[in-house]
């Protein structure tokens, strides 16, 4: 991996493949390592850019995550575009990465060709998720599959990263603010909202997306009938095929 400095922090990134530039953004508590099962397929089709957000993966560690986590990391990603001399990019963000992608589109539309925002909770934190967050995270720490995922993404200090994310989410929810600094109605670039109807974290994802679409008729929705969270991995072959079709249209 390569690296660059963002506000004094070393941020690691990687570039694979050639062709149309595509930036993949992972969800909360993950790193670019979450894309390991699919990265080669993407690199066979696109010039794929990935990074580890500050405090995650192989990037410099933090003692506390920024409360405005998704906006902050959108600024990190825009700095990465400058670092890699990428004038315009298609951004595919999943879960929390979708919120980062949408912030990028709202703040710097001239730099973003299109967005695929996958498996995310809308413009505000879900009360059902926040209310059970501490309990759910503690249970997940005793789940061997979850622990293996976090260790793969971060190494031996995975638990501290998960705890920092939990603390950040609770602080953010207390503020009652939107994930975005600008209204979603101002998003002016081609955007697809994707997800699964079987998403285990949100069983009314379609309602959330339809509500966003009412605020911005430019948004398009595609929901998979099957698959878990996130849809881009649980339906990875079909998802990649759709992304390829969409990019041709952009």
Whether pLDDT at 250 is above 90: no
Whether pLDDT at 131 is above 90: yes
Task: Return the pLDDT at 102.
Answer: 98
| Residue 62 belongs to domain spanning | 2-249
Q: What is the mean pLDDT of the chain?
A: 97
Task: Return the pLDDT at 37.
Answer: 96
Q: Label residue 93 by pLDDT band (50, 70, 90).
A: very high
Q: Label residue 202 by pLDDT band (50, 70, 90).
A: confident
Q: At what angle do helices 69-83 and 96-107 cross, to 10 degrees?
A: 60
Task: Return the pLDDT at 237.
Answer: 96
- Helix count and strand count (H, E) for the chain: 10, 8
Q: Residue 48 is encoded by which pair of tokens?
A: 């794929």
Q: For residues 35 and 232, what is the distance between their CA atoms, to the nearest angstrom?
A: 10
Whether pLDDT at 249 is above 80: no
Q: What average pLDDT does this structure show over 65-78? A: 98
Number of structural domains in the chain: 1
Q: What are phi and psi of 82, to 5 degrees?
A: -65, -45
Distance (Å) of CA 138 to CA 2, 64, 67, 144, 222:
34, 19, 21, 12, 33
pTM of the shown model: 0.98
Q: Are 53 and 89 in contact (CB under 8 A)?
A: no
User: In CATH, what number is assigned to the domain containing residue 151?
Assistant: 3.40.50.1820
Q: What average pLDDT does this structure show over 160-178? A: 97
């Amino acid at each position: 991996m390569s690296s660059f400095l963002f506000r004094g922090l070393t941020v690691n990134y990687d570039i694979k493949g050639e062709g149309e530039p595509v930036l993949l953004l992972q969800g909360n508590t993950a790193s670019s390592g979450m894309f390991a099962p699919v990265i080669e397929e993407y690199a066979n089709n696109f010039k794929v850019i990935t990074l580890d957000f500050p405090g995650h993966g192989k990037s410099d560690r933090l003692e506390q995550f920024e409360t405005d986590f998704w906006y902050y990391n959108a600024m990190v990603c825009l700095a990465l575009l400058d670092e890699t001399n990428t004038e315009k990019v298609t951004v595919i963000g999943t879960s929390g990465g979708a919120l980062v992608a949408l912030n990028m589109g709202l703040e710097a539309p001239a730099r973003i060709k299109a967005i695929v925002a996958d498996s995310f909770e809308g413009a505000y934190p879900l009360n059902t998720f926040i209310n059970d967050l501490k309990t759910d995270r503690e249970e997940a720490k005793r789940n061997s599959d979850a622990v293996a995922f976090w260790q793969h993404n971060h190494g031996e200090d995975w638990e501290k990263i998960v705890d920092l994310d939990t603390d950040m989410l609770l602080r953010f929810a207390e503020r009652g603010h939107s994930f975005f600094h600008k209204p979603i109605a101002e998003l002016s670039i081609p955007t697809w909202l994707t997800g699964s109807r079987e998403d285990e974290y949100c069983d009314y994802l379609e309602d959330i997306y339809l509500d966003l679409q009412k605020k911005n008729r430019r948004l398009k929705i595609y929901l998979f009938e099957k698959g878990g969270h996130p849809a881009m991995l649980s339906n990875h072959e079909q998802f990649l095929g759709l992304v390829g079709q969409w990019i041709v249209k952009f």
